[in-house]
Structure 1
Amino acid sequence: MRLLAAAAAALLLAPFVATPAHAAGRPPEFRHELLAKAQPDECFNGVGQPYPAGPPCTAGQAKVNQAYVWGTALAGNRLWFGTGANLHCLTSGRTLDFKEPTLNDDWVCEYGRSQIAQRNPNLPHYLGDHRMPRLYMYDVRNRSLTEKTSAVTATPAGLQMLQATAGIRSAGTHRGVVFFAGPSISATMNMFAFDADTGAYLGAKNFTGYGNIRHFLVADGALYAGVGVGANGSLGGHVLRWVGSKADPFAFVSVANLTAQAADLAFHDGRVFVTTWPASAAAGAADEETSGEAPSPLAAVWMSPRLSTGAPGLDPADADGWQQVWSVTEYEPDLVTSHTYALGGLASYGGYLYWGTMHVPLKATTAHLELYPPKDEAGTRATIENTQRATVIFRGKDFGSSRERTELLYGAAQLPAYDPAAAGGAGAWNPVATGYTPKYGSAGFGEPFLNYTWKMVVSAGKLFVGTMDWSYLAKELQTPLTGINIDPAKFGGDLYVFDSTTRPARAVDKTGLGNYLNYGVRNMVADGSTLYLGMADPMNLRTDPDDDVPQGGWELVKLTVDCR
């Protein structure tokens, strides 16, 4: 972990120079409005200390655990959404194996020192900051927020299942049923159902065969969901089709067998397309280098059979008929780094399928340091500087035909790749061509700290792209370092828009849509020319309404698009 700490510090000293791809400022045709926000739900009085009563807090300070609007679905005039708590702590603890507590003015991650971990000694350290997620319904016509959590927790079984849910990572709705779903803390998947018409709670189910879920999709009158198998989806994935009803809400069948867990889904050219997350990172790269066997499952784009073929929609007979149409290895030349790529949002727009990549900060660095430990500080710095990746945007069309083509819109013509046999076996980094020439600009829409393409959605004839910007997290690592090139004016997640298939994207907002602590646009739902944005803001100690810093915790934002 000392190597990783040094990596983080050296990264921030690296010569990152952002080149804005677009003019600053929000275009006047977009107006955003805050509809709802997380409120403080706990009192914090020091790492490892008991949590005082409140809020209001007579001891310690107020803390807001609920960080993300994680799953969102629109049913008529009702927007249903579920949250995730302290997700930056869960990610850094699990993915980067952070164990030493972090405490600063913005957030705290207690990991294994938390009271919850102390009361549950068998709990993994990365779950020490876990808190039960919350469920909400927002009436867009009456502008009223109703919490639905108590409908689930009213029964002991419901309370136990929701407490064991890592977060409501996904939400969907079809034929009068609303679904909330997310991974459990025990490598399974939990799902909760509500009546979309009456708001009544229909029940819950634990799916032992699956370990993760990210998105639902309605395509040609059927509801589909992408899931992962095993802990955090590490053993592969499936696409499920709902075959249930209000009376039997948890009936699903598998219609796709994938080599990696499913992430997002889109309906394009009469088929369902799915992006995936990798099943492994450094271990997979090591196996691939040493065994000579088939490569470990990596992030890719998969295409279903045509939905019009055979039975209406997809059925179990289609499960083995899916085709992988693109993989990260077609772009990323570094073997280890390619195993850390994930794919995120995708959407069908103007005859093309668009998709983007996702890069957990320092994940590729961690994997490289583990597999190829540097011999000196210069080697560590080289590893850090050469393993950073910003989000990359692709599009393609005519998949599976002789006319198939894929274009790189924002990315790089060459990237650094590590050759362990170079320099007489000492290893060296060398620039290697990606095989693409970016059509519009560099990765991250020109911003090096834009690391996720979280969601894409089409509204008012435009394609919107919600991203994550981790520069605010990175700035905490600068003390007592100097010379770090992080521009505070760029704090906050960015929202971009493609006005057509013939123009580059432009920025709708680059500062978190009114709150620069919102480091990402986690979710988007379109309702005509209106977008509802679920924001991610994990700054759990920013709860003072009287200081000059925005508040932490999730936000629900309405974006109105002027179609003039």
Structure 2
Amino acid sequence: MTRVGTQVWFGTGANVHCLTSGGSLGEDEPVVNDDYVCEYGESQVVKNHPTVPGELGDVRPPQVWLYDAQAGALTNQTASVTGASAEDETRLRNTLGLRSAGNLDGVVLFAGPSLSNTLNVFAFDAATHRFLGSRTLLLYSNARTFLVAGDELYLGVGAGQGGGRNGAVLRWAGNAVTPFVFDKVADLPAQAADLAYLDGHIYATTWGATNATTTGQLAGVWKSPELPIRPWQNRQWTQVFDVSRYETDPVIRTTYGLGGVAAYGGYLYWGTMHVPLQGTLRHQATYPQPTDEAVRLQARNSQRALSIWRGKDLGTPNQKIDLLYGETALPAYAPDTATWSAVPTGWTPLYGRSGFGNSTNNYTWRMTVAGDRLYVATMDWSYLVHDLLPQAPPTDPALWGADLWMFPAAGEAAQPINTTGLGNYLNYGIRNMAADGNDLYLGMANPMNLRTDPTDNVPEGGWELLKLTRS
């Protein structure tokens, strides 16, 4: 999502819950319940296009939308892509979702991963809304965030399957005539997730590389050379934090991602991300357990909620990092004795426990400054627990739905704005935010593709675009 004056451009991704459980968790057995269906290899997409892998069988072409706040009008711009040429239509159809959007100099750009592990980019004229074309970047396979810094536009990307091999930061060198020109200004050992600008430097959070085995491949925070960055400086970025400084279990730390990041009050704030059950599945693959009781213990001890951090003077001798929300100890497994124990993390959180006190707050999906406040958007998978883990105890309905938290000032604890999905508890995530002065646009994640009955007593599934106005 990206804002141009009074207009908000945003792209969609369909059935992302199914794509994640298939692509990241290895699920391929079709599932149906009251909330959603994941067809995987039984889908018509796979039957009509056998080259589509079964774990991604629920893919649907993404869409491009434009909301004009001044006119109060929402328009679907997708037909301008599909009607431009057969090549553009095919490229959009092969895109898993439009994961990132940005704009500069009158050009709006969208980027998203393709079915063939490449990166598709689409361009529009911000003023006329005319579609400018599309391209495939063959060297990259994922993108999450555009950032304008120092009057230039940057994009964080990943390479390899799902972006899991390594990463880069690209600087846009295009214009309305040639919109698909990028220079690589960072080589990173893991895919870039989110970007922020502070004191003349760009900071990139990363996800751990697939099967991460070294510190350099773990999720971390990277600092750029001072702007402007030139391509020959692409290996001069410095890692200022990685999750081995906090996570006590060597297997679980390889499943961490870092997500939302923002500059606020002279600090850099960032948070962790944890795909539901990924830590458990990797632990089970590494250390199979002999009894049902041991398996349950492994599942309980291998789950993590998000932690929130901030740092100052990063990459200098005066570097200072604070844990704001997290744990003083985390369970770690000792394979020699086949036991779990609470191991000190070496940190004391300033304000509270992981997940803002909610163990199912698992993603720090976005951080955005609006006015003089820092907003933190989460994913909360509590509503999914009863579908994914039928044997688990019932979750508290009061916890269902994504959270939006707000830091009123640097040096103060966060306050909850809403913890129940902003009026729809099926909104399990706030995927994107765009500031408009003191106000916020929120792009919601809601995968409940069978919740379509407006007459029942359950909210509806599907994406929502919300505007939060500060009173």
Q: TM-score, normalised by structure 1?
A: 0.82
Q: Does 1:177 align with 2:107?
A: yes
Match of 2:334 in 1: 419
Which of residues 19, 24, 33 is equivalent to 1:90? 19
Match of 1:59 in 2: none
- Residue aligned with 1:476, SS: helix
Whether the 8 Å CA contact 2:65–2:74 is kept in 1: the answer is yes
Which of residues 439, 464, 468 is equivalent to 1:555? 464
Which of residues 153, 157, 164 is equivalent to 1:234? 164
Long gaps (5+) in structure 1: 1-71, 289-293, 308-312
Q: Does 1:123 align with 2:52?
A: yes
Which of residues 443, 450, 454 is equivalent to 2:354? 443
Q: Does 1:224 align with 2:154?
A: yes
**Displacement of 1:122 after TM fit?**
3.1
Alignment of 1:285-300 (within 5 A): 288=213, 294-295=214-215, 297-300=217-220
**Displacement of 1:120 after TM fit?**
2.5
Give the stretch that moved more between structures: 355-364 or 120-129.
120-129
**Displacement of 1:477 after TM fit?**
4.4
Alignment of 1:36-185 (within 5 A): 72-154=1-83, 155-185=85-115
Match of 2:370 in 1: 459
Per-residue Cα deviation, 1:259-278 (whole angstroms, up to 9, x for no partner): 00000000012100000011
Q: For 1:329 and 1:478, how far apart are their aligned partners in 2?
A: 29
Match of 1:471 in 2: 382
Per-residue Cα deviation, 1:136-185 (whole angstroms, up to 9, x for no partner): 11101111011110000002111100000000000000000000110001
Indicate the RMSD between aligned Cα atoms, in angstroms.
Answer: 1.1
Whether the 8 Å CA contact 1:301–1:324 is kept in 2: the answer is yes
Q: Does 1:383 align with 2:298?
A: yes
Q: For 1:144 and 1:457, how far apart are their aligned partners in 2?
A: 25
Per-residue Cα deviation, 1:508-550 (whole angstroms, up to 9, x for no partner): 0011111111001100000101100000000000001111111
Per-residue Cα deviation, 1:479-501 (whole angstroms, up to 9, x for no partner): 5x57x141012211000000011
Q: Does 1:429 align with 2:340?
A: yes
Whether the 8 Å CA contact 1:194–1:203 is kept in 2: the answer is yes
Per-residue Cα deviation, 1:462-492 (whole angstroms, up to 9, x for no partner): 000000000111122465x57x141012211
Q: Which runs of 4+ in 1 moved over 4 A?
A: none
Q: Which has the higher contact order (CA 8 A, sep 6+)?
A: 1
What count of residue pairs does the alignment treat as equivalent?
Answer: 470
* Partner AA of 1:553 in structure 2: G
Whether the 8 Å CA contact 1:241–1:315 is kept in 2: the answer is no
**Displacement of 1:502 after TM fit?**
2.0
Q: Does 1:247 align with 2:177?
A: yes
* Partner AA of 2:430 in structure 1: V
Q: Does 1:356 align with 2:265?
A: no
Per-residue Cα deviation, 1:276-316 (whole angstroms, up to 9, x for no partner): 011114xx3xxx4xxxxx55611000000111xxxxx2110
Whether the 8 Å CA contact 1:211–1:232 is kept in 2: the answer is yes
- Residue aligned with 1:445, SS: helix
Q: For 1:400 and 1:538, how far apart are their aligned partners in 2?
A: 39
Q: For 2:19 and 2:153, how far apart are their aligned partners in 1?
A: 30
* Partner AA of 1:123 in structure 2: V
Which of residues 176, 191, 199 is equivalent to 1:261? 191
Q: Does 1:400 align with 2:315?
A: yes
**Displacement of 1:119 after TM fit?**
2.2
Match of 1:493 in 2: 402
Q: For 2:20 and 2:13, how far apart are their aligned partners in 1?
A: 12
Per-residue Cα deviation, 1:188-247 (whole angstroms, up to 9, x for no partner): 000000001111010000010101110000001000000011121122011000111111
Residues 1:393 and 1:77: Cα distance change in structure 2 (over 3 Å):
same
Match of 2:435 in 1: 526
Whether the 8 Å CA contact 1:346–1:356 is kept in 2: the answer is yes
Structure with the greater alpha carbon radius of gyration? 1
Q: TM-score, normalised by structure 2?
A: 0.98
- Residue aligned with 1:84, SS: coil
Whether the 8 Å CA contact 1:524–1:534 is kept in 2: the answer is yes
Q: For 1:107 and 1:413, how far apart are their aligned partners in 2?
A: 37
- Residue aligned with 1:152, SS: helix
Q: For 2:350 and 2:163, how far apart are their aligned partners in 1?
A: 34
Whether the 8 Å CA contact 1:460–1:561 is kept in 2: the answer is no
Q: For 1:546 and 1:235, how far apart are their aligned partners in 2?
A: 46
Q: For 1:514 and 1:431, how far apart are their aligned partners in 2?
A: 37
Q: For 2:411 and 2:175, how far apart are their aligned partners in 1?
A: 43
Q: For 2:441 and 2:19, how far apart are their aligned partners in 1?
A: 26
Whether the 8 Å CA contact 1:279–1:296 is kept in 2: the answer is no
